[in-house]
Structure 1
Amino acid sequence: MWHDRAMSTTGRRVGRPRAERRPDSGLSAREELLAAAAELFTVQGYAATSTRAVAERSGMRQASMYHYFGGKEDLLAVLLEGTVRPSLDLARGLLAAEGSAEARLWQLCRSDVVLLCGGPHNLGALYLLPEVRTERFAGFARMRRELKEAYGRLLADAACCTALDAGEVAVRTDLVFGLIEGVILIHRSDPDRPVEAFAAATADAALRVAGAREEDLAEVRARAAKLAQG
Structure 2
Amino acid sequence: MSTTRRRVGRPRAAGRSDSGLSAREELLEAAAELFTTLGYAATTTRAVAERAGMRQASMYHYFAGKEDLLATLLEGTVRPSLELAHKLTARHDVPAEARLWALCRADVALLCGGRHNLGALYLLPEVSAERFSDFRAVRDELRAAYRELLAGTEPGGELPPAELDIRAELLFGLIEGVILVRREAPHREVAAIAAATADAALRMAGCPEHVLPKLGREGKALLAP
- TM-score range with shorter-chain normalisation? over 0.9
Indicate the residue corresponding to 2:21 in structure 1.
27
Mapped partners of 1:159, 1:227: distance in 2: 19
Indicate the residue corresponding to 1:42 in structure 2.
36
Indicate the residue corresponding to 2:170 in structure 1.
175
Deviation digits for residues 157-208 of structure 1, max 9, x if unmatched?
0112111111111111000000000110111010000000010000111111
TM-score (norm 1): 0.93
Mapped partners of 1:74, 1:18: distance in 2: 20
User: Which residue among 147, 150, 155 is the counterpart of 1:160?
Assistant: 155
Q: CA deviation at 1:21?
A: 3.7
Structure 2: tracts of 5 or more residues without a match: 1-6
List, as ranges, runs of 4+ consecutive aligned residues in structure 1 with deviation greater than 3 Å.
Answer: none
Indicate the residue corresponding to 2:88 in structure 1.
94
Q: CA deviation at 1:219?
A: 1.1
Mapped partners of 2:117, 2:17: distance in 1: 25
3-state SS in 2 of match to 1:162? helix
3-state SS in 1 of match to 2:158? coil
Mapped partners of 2:156, 2:114: distance in 1: 33
Mapped partners of 1:15, 1:119: distance in 2: 30
Question: Cα–Cα, structure 1 residues 204 and 14, in superposed 2: closer, same or farther, change >3 Å?
Answer: farther
Aligned residues, how many? 218
User: Which residue among 113, 127, 134 is the counterpart of 2:129?
Assistant: 134
Mapped partners of 1:157, 1:132: distance in 2: 32
Mapped partners of 2:41, 2:221: distance in 1: 44
Superposed CA RMSD in Å reads 1.1
User: Which residue among 103, 107, 113 is the counterpart of 1:108?
Assistant: 103
Identity within the alignment, %: 66
Q: Please say if 1:207 is aligned against 2:202.
A: yes
Structure 1: tracts of 5 or more residues without a match: 1-12
Deviation digits for residues 5-25 of structure 1, max 9, x if unmatched?
xxxxxxxx9532112142211
Q: Please say if 1:51 is aligned against 2:35.
A: no
TM-score (norm 2): 0.95
Q: Which moved more, 1:195-204 or 1:15-24?
A: 15-24
Mapped partners of 1:16, 1:189: distance in 2: 41
Indicate the residue corresponding to 1:78 in structure 2.
72
User: Which residue among 137, 144, 151 is the counterpart of 2:139?
Assistant: 144
Deviation digits for residues 105-124 of structure 1, max 9, x if unmatched?
00000000000000110000
Letter in 2 for 1:168: E
Q: If you compute each CA radius of gyration, which structure gives the higher value, 1 or 2?
A: 2
Mapped partners of 2:13, 2:68: distance in 1: 21
